[in-house]
């Protein structure tokens, strides 16, 4: 039996689990949400982590798996952490300012608390190492891109790997034959086009800022907006970074980063919140259609993560105009509350639409054991 402690520092959450990597059975599970959200009792990831580690029986743990968001071009698979790996993750933090720093806090806290236990980093970027050049290349001056290592990476890869396999099982078809569009809609949100289990496009780019509208992040933007704000608004790099990553998205438009809070505000008649929701849904819809085109057709559309798993309203609105692609949801199936993986398209639909709860922790535990056992 191999007991793995998994630490998943999301941008607004800390998820930790101790699980038996052979059976997948959970021994301990904890979730701290709304980290840093105004009014929340949890100010930052460090506080959340200290509380988490205090409650654990460290003697029983054989390995620790850490979710690390940015692995750059160096880490294309899960890697045992030593001082050099830790330093490289720190160097990459500038490319994932909301994520690599809490990920590092997790590594440091766990290495201090469990100094003799192997620790493994499992990277969000790794799954997207298969992106073709036409998907990972930005159309900027190639010399500038090369000099500053500007390219797209993509994130949420651990989630995509787990969810696409589960979807294939549910469909009863080989993963290798499926064209899937997956929407990972959490606080951070992205879409991926997955052909035969390989990522061929994804909406996040060099950093987890590109693509969909998120809790506090803008997603896609005309880059000239940044130039304008620098020239006319006096914004410097820090101010831009802060605005785009922390005070944009649903929060910037509608005053709430958390989708539950946003929907509550809409229900009470808040027009700014309603506009934020429309912009969010419009963007999701566009990526579904674009990725169906990238794949040359779509067999399955899969919703996952906090919003994708729980908001029937977001799912219904996202596919509302996509009937021309064969994408429709059954209103009753979509609205039925459930935490199980399930179909929400009508029987016999040309495109299967599914809700598949992600399990990054389980995937990280498997990957951790595979790495330390040399598999
Ligand atoms: N029942 C629900 N309806 C709508 N949104 C929900 C629901 N439950 C959770 N969410 C949303 O899921 C998001 C958090 O997703 P999660 O995947 O946990 O985030 P993280 O990116 O931090 O890992 C929040 O916006 C939250 O409001
Ligand atoms: C990469 C990313 O945005 O992660 P999360 O959704 O957990 O914030
Ligand atoms: Mg997450």
Is residue 144 assigned to a domain? no
Kindly state whether residue 130 falls inside one of the protein's structural domains.
no
Q: pLDDT tens digit string along 352-373?
A: 999 999 999 999 999 999 999 9
Take atom 7 of ligand 1 and give the residue whose Cα is closest.
310
Q: What CATH number should be reported for the domain holding residue 92?
A: 3.30.420.40
The reported pTM is 0.95
ipTM: 0.98
Closest atom of ligand 1 to CA, residue 215: 25
Residue ranges with CB less than 5 Å from ion ligand 3? 10, 186
Band (pLDDT 50/70/90 cuts) for residue 1 is confident
Residue 123 in this model has a pLDDT that exceeds 80: yes
Cα separation, 210 vs 221, whole angstroms = 8
Q: Does one domain contain both 184 and 117?
A: no
When mean pLDDT is compared across 67-76, 106-115, 162-171, 363-372, the lowest value belongs to 106-115
Distance 304 CA to ligand 2 centre (A): 13
349 is a domain residue: yes
Rounded CA separation 42/253 (Å): 24
Same domain, 88 and 190: no
Instruction: Out of 8, 10, 182, give the residue to mutate to test ligand 2, the one with the largest number of ligand atoms within 8 Å of its CB.
Output: 10
H/E element, 9: strand 3-9
Domain total in the chain:
2
Helices 157-171, 360-372: inter-axial angle, 10-degree rounding: 100
- Asked if residue 318 and residue 207 are part of one domain, the reply reads yes
What is the tens place of the pLDDT at every residue in 148-179? Answer: 999 999 999 999 999 999 999 999 999 999 99
Q: With left for phi above 0 and alpha for psi between -120 and 50, is residue 255 left, alpha or beta?
A: left
Cα–Cα distance between 352 and 132 in angstroms, integer?
A: 26
Does 368 map to a domain?
no
**Mean pLDDT taken over the chain:** 95
Domain with 289, as residue range(s), is 174-355
Q: Which residue, among 278, 335, 279, 326, has the nearest Cα to 301 in the 3D structure?
A: 326
Residue 227 within any structural domain of the chain: yes
Per-residue pLDDT of 7-38, as tens digits, reads: 998 777 888 999 999 899 999 999 988 887 78
- 92 and 198 housed in the same domain: no
- 362 domain-assigned: no
Residue 338 lies inside a defined structural domain of this protein? yes
**Model confidence band, residue 50 (pLDDT cutoffs 50, 70, 90):** confident
97 Cα–ligand 2 center, Å: 11
Ligand 3 center from residue 72 Cα (angstroms)? 19
């Amino acid at each position: 039996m191999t007991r793995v402690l998994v630490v998943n520092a999301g941008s607004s959450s800390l998820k930790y689990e101790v699980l038996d990597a052979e059976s997948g059975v959970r021994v301990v599970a904890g979730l701290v949400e709304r980290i840093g959200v105004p009014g929340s009792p949890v100010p930052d990831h460090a506080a959340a982590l200290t509380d988490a580690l205090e409650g654990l029986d460290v003697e029983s743990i054989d390995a620790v798996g850490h979710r690390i968001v940015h692995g750059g071009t160096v880490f294309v698979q899960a890697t045992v952490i030593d001082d050099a790996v830790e330093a490289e993750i720190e160097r990459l933090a500038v490319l994932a300012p909301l994520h690599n720093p809490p990920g590092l806090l997790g590594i440091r806290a766990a290495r201090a608390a469990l100094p003799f236990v192997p620790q493994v980093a499992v990277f969000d970027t790794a799954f997207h190492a298969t992106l073709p050049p036409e998907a990972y290349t930005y159309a900027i001056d190639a010399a500038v891109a090369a000099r500053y290592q500007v390219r797209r990476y993509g994130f949420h890869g651990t989630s995509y790997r787990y969810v696409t396999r589960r979807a294939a099982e549910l469909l009863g078809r080989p993963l290798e034959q499926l064209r899937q569009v997956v929407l990972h809609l959490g606080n951070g949100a992205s879409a991926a086009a997955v052909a035969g289990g390989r990522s061929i496009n994804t909406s996040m780019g060099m950093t987890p800022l590109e693509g969909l509208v998120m809790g506090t992040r803008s997603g896609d933007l005309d880059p000239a907006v940044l130039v304008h704000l620098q020239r006319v608004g006096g914004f410097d790099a820090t101010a831009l970074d802060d605005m785009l990553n922390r005070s944009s998205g649903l929060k910037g438009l509608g005053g709430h980063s958390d989708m539950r809070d946003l929907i509550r505000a809409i229900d009470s008649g808040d027009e700014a919140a309603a506009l934020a929701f429309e912009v969010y849904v419009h963007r999701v819809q566009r990526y579904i259609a674009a990725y169906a085109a990238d794949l040359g057709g779509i067999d399955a559309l899969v919703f996952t993560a906090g919003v994708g798993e729980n908001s029937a309203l977001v799912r219904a609105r996202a596919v509302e105009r996509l009937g021309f692609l064969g994408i429709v949801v059954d209103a009753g199936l979509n609205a039925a509350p459930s935490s199980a993986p399930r179909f929400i398209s009508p029987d016999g639909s040309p495109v299967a639409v599914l809700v598949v709860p992600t399990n990054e922790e389980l995937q990280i535990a498997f990957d951790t054991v595979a790495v330390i056992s040399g598999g």
